[in-house]
Amino acid sequence: MKKLLILTAVAALVISGVAWAAPSSKPQRVMSLNLCTDQLVLQLLPRERITSVSYLSQSWEHSYLTADALGVRINFGTSEEVLKEQPDLVLAGSASTPTVRALLKRVGVPLVEVPAAESFAEIRTVTRQVARAVGEEEMGEILLAQMDATLDQLGASSPRQRIVVAAWDGAGSIPAKGTLFDEILTVAGAHNIAADISTTLIYGRYASVDLEQLVALKPDILAYGSSRIGRMDLSNEKLQHRVIRKLYRGREITYPETLYGCGLPQSATAAAELRRTILDVMKRAP
């Protein structure tokens, strides 16, 4: 059935008679199928050069630039939408929409596959990749210069004390070393407790930690993603466990997951904000 759908989509693109030429140095009709490329495109291009961005870009839970995406057409990452919009260039994540990406390559649609960025070095690479693809390298460098200025400021004023943070979700997992959260936390000047745990990673990105292990590890601060707060499920009940309330009252923080989902130049801003929050909590902690 899946093969039939792919062949049908290929036939539709071929029969349509649309011929995609190689994009110019500044493609005028850019389509983004991925949340992370959405947020770069929205910063690099004027709206009139964006045919559409992914539907996630208009969700406050996922996108840092929700307001910027309002009024821009959205897509759901389908080949039919690419056919309808006839963009000069399509941007997609290297691990998302595999069937659509394969189809676009097959019929010659100009496509740039952008990997996820989990470090500031990778953010530089990805930002330049997208900026070069859309013909806005100067704007890309401006965004990176702002990022590097913030990183330089953070590097020149690291906290003197060792502050251990656990980004515990109540369900038994914390972001591991090598994740974007870990990179932002490290630049903020704190230590990710996941580095102290020897365990098999979940999905290659999370370390498994139950309530008893968490208490034994004694992190200085517990960090919760903003979407966890107020959620009515069993994991949220653990966040309100009497042991957690007793040990960590006044030493709990939240962080905006929208800034931790995609590696962007603004990830440096997230690190600066995280440092301010952590230092403020440590100053007031009992």
Half-sphere exposure (Cβ direction) of 5: Cα atoms closer than 13 Å: 8
Inform me whether the pLDDT recorded for 16 exceeds 50.
no
119-154 as b/e, with b when 16 or more CB fall inside 10 Å?
Answer: bbeebbebbebbbebbbbbeebeebbeebeebbeeb
> 59-113 pLDDT, tens per residue?
877 788 888 888 899 999 999 999 999 999 999 999 888 999 999 999 899 999 9
**The pLDDT value given to residue 56:** 92
Is residue 165 a contact partner of residue 223, using CB atoms and an 8 Å limit? yes
What are the two backbone dihedrals, phi and then psi, of residue 34, each rounded to the nearest 5 degrees?
-130, 140
Asked if the domains at 28-150 and 164-284 fall in one CATH topology, the answer is: yes
Specify whether domain 28-150 bears CATH 3.40.190.10: no
The two three-digit tokens of residue 274, written as one number: 């995280």
> 217-272 pLDDT, tens per residue?
899 998 988 764 444 444 454 556 677 777 778 888 888 888 888 999 999 999 99
The two three-digit tokens of residue 231, written as one number: 């959620």
> 31-63 pLDDT, tens per residue?
999 999 999 999 999 999 999 999 999 887 778
Residue matched to tokens 């349509």: 16
Point out which residues pair with 175 in neighbouring strands.
Answer: 206
**The pLDDT value given to residue 150:** 97
CB neighbours of 36 closer than 8 A, spacing ≥ 6?
Answer: 93, 114, 116, 117, 126, 261, 262, 263, 264
Inform me whether the pLDDT recorded for 212 exceeds 90.
no
pLDDT confidence bin for 2, thresholds 50/70/90: very low
**The pLDDT value given to residue 227:** 60
Is residue 45 a contact partner of residue 27, using CB atoms and an 8 Å limit? no
- Tell which CATH architecture fits domain 164-284: 3-Layer(aba) Sandwich (3.40)
Is residue 177 a contact partner of residue 160, using CB atoms and an 8 Å limit? no
pLDDT confidence bin for 22, thresholds 50/70/90: low
**The pLDDT value given to residue 240:** 62
**The pLDDT value given to residue 229:** 46
pLDDT confidence bin for 14, thresholds 50/70/90: very low
Pairing label, strands 221-225, 164-166: parallel
**The pLDDT value given to residue 232:** 40
- Exposed/middle/buried for residue 223 (C-beta within 10 Å: 0-12, 13-18, 19+): buried
> 123-181 pLDDT, tens per residue?
999 999 999 999 999 999 999 999 999 999 999 998 988 999 998 776 678 888 889 99
Half-sphere exposure (Cβ direction) of 2: Cα atoms closer than 13 Å: 4
Count CB neighbours of 239 within 10 A.
19
The reported pTM is 0.85
Listed by start position, the domains of the chain span 28-150, 164-284
